[in-house]
Amino acid sequence: MRKYIDSFTEEVCIALKNAPAEEISKAINILQAVYERDGRIYIFGNGGSLAMATHWVSDFNKTVFSHNLSDHPRRFQAIRLPTTEEELSAWANDVGYDMVFAGPLQNYIQEADCVIAISSSGKSPNVIKAIELAKARHVPVIGLSGFDGGQLNVLADAKILIPTKPGAYTVVESVHHALMHLFTSYFQDYFDHLHARNEKRAT
């Protein structure tokens, strides 16, 4: 048993250590710019990645401002797509599963916004459809992928690829979660700083 545990944790640790710092920095800059222009952040993916998208929305909309919730006149506006199960089933049933993200995205998307797409294979057709829509509108795309990155990594502006052997979903998703929390930590620290500085300037 010990061997199995060691092997998994080691695999995750190595993958996490090799996370592309430059691309993560790029993603932070994209999010910073979206905050400055009061744009929105759309997050989506399939299965476990959709669960992470929901978690990320909660972290961005609330957790990063937690220490001074009432004192941030502008907060992130993160939205998980689709926003309801009803929309998901309606698009899937009436139009096709490949439109469950691109369809709802079209309702919201403005040029000031950005997109975070999560797909371990980087190949999910519904994720790619949504990315193509964002690209056509010149909306920046942060792509979290694994394996060989697929088309998502090709199209994304910030290419956060966790290279693994094909099918290593557990490793890729584990690292994606850790990186999501890196973003949460960074922006929580940043907004704490902003709050402290604004207090200082006010006195």
Partner 1 sequence: MIITRAPLRISFVGGGTDIKEFYEQYPGRVISSTIDKYVYTVVNHARLLDTLVVKYSETEIVQSLSDLKHGRFREALLQLQIPGNGLEIASFADLPSRTGLGSSSSFSVALLKALHAHLDKPIDKRTLAEHACTLEIDTLKEPIGKQDQYAASFGGINVFQFNPDGTVDVEPIFIDYKVRAQLEEHSLLFFTGISRDTKNVLGEQKLKMSEKFETYKQMSDSVLLFKEKLQAGDLKGMAEMLHEGWERKRSLANTISNSALDELYASAIAAGAWGGKVLGAGGGGCLFFIAPPEEHATILKGLEEKASAAGLSGYKKIEFDFSQSGTDILYNSSPYHA
Structure tokens at 105: 């995205």
Task: Report the residue from 6, 7, 18, 33 that binds partner 1 according to the rule CB under 8 A.
Answer: 33
CA distance 135 to 189: 30
Which residues lie closer than 8 Å to 98 by C-beta, 6 or more apart? 125, 126, 129
Write out the binding residues for partner 1, residues 92-151 only, by CB under 8 A.
110-112, 136-138
Cβ closest to partner 1, residue 71 vs residue 189: 189
Q: Can residue 17 be called a binding residue for partner 1 (CB under 8 A)?
A: no
DSSP state of 99: G
189 binds partner 1 (CB under 8 A): yes
CB of 124 to partner 1, least distance (A): 23
Beta bridge partners of 160: 144
Q: Is 74 in the site for partner 1 (CB under 8 A)?
A: no
Piece in contact with partner 1 (CB under 8 A), picked from 11-19, 67-75, 117-125, 186-194: 186-194
Please state, in angstroms and as integers, the Cα–Cα distance from residue 159 to each residue in 50, 82, 149, 155, 168, following that order: 19, 23, 9, 8, 18
Comparing CA positions, the residue from 20, 3, 11, 45 lying closest to residue 168 is: 11
The reply on whether position 197 binds partner 1 by CB under 8 A is yes
Q: Which residues form the interface with partner 1 (CB under 8 A)?
A: 22, 25-26, 28-29, 32-34, 36-37, 39, 110-112, 136-138, 186, 189-190, 193, 197
